[in-house]
Amino acid sequence: QSALTQPASVSGSPGQSITISCTGTSSDVGNYNYVSWYQQHPGKAPKLMICDVSKRPSGVSDRFSGSKSGNTASLTISGLQAEDEADYYCCSYAGSKSHNWVFGGGTKLTVL
């Protein structure tokens, strides 16, 4: 199972909005509404930001939103804040035969 494709890095200024893409295939992202997004600060465990494509867990800021079109999922962060600077990973369920999950390679968000 190949990793999902994310841009290596994105950047934005405080207050701006950014979008991180996550491209898979018709076997994973395109076939299931089981895409999740994680934020990871250096040396810390990942934190769930979005599940099931667009659901925001309790406690996660509404500045974070998720969507999907075809084989590509997206995470949008609006009103960028300094504490949003982190690595972001997407993850998708990858099939009812193998019951695997696949992560993206990760995107480093820099808040300028």
Partner 1 sequence: EVQLVESGGGLVQPGGSLRLSCAASGFTVNNYFMSWVRQAPGKGLEWVSVIFSVGTTYYADSVKGRFSITRDNSKNTLYLQMNSLRAEDTAVYYCSRGTSSGWYGADWGQGTLVTVSS
Q: Catalog residues that contact partner 1 under the rule CB under 8 A.
A: 1, 3, 34, 36, 38, 40, 45-48, 51-52, 57, 87, 89, 91, 93, 98-106
CA distances from 55 to 35, 48, 76, 86 (A): 10, 10, 13, 20
- Provide the minimum distance between the beta carbon of 38 and partner 1 in the complex, in angstroms, as a whole number: 6
* 91: number of Cβ within 10 Å: 22
Looking at this protein, which amino acid is placed at residue 34? Y
Of 12 and 66, nearer to partner 1 (C-beta) is 66
Of 57 and 79, nearer to partner 1 (C-beta) is 57
- Provide the minimum distance between the beta carbon of 14 and partner 1 in the complex, in angstroms, as a whole number: 26
Of 13 and 58, nearer to partner 1 (C-beta) is 58
Of 63 and 108, nearer to partner 1 (C-beta) is 108
Three-point CA angle 44, 23, 31, nearest 5°: 105
- Provide the minimum distance between the beta carbon of 76 and partner 1 in the complex, in angstroms, as a whole number: 19
- Provide the minimum distance between the beta carbon of 56 and partner 1 in the complex, in angstroms, as a whole number: 12
Distance CA 60, CA 49 (A): 6
Collapsing DSSP to helix, strand or coil, 82 comes out as helix
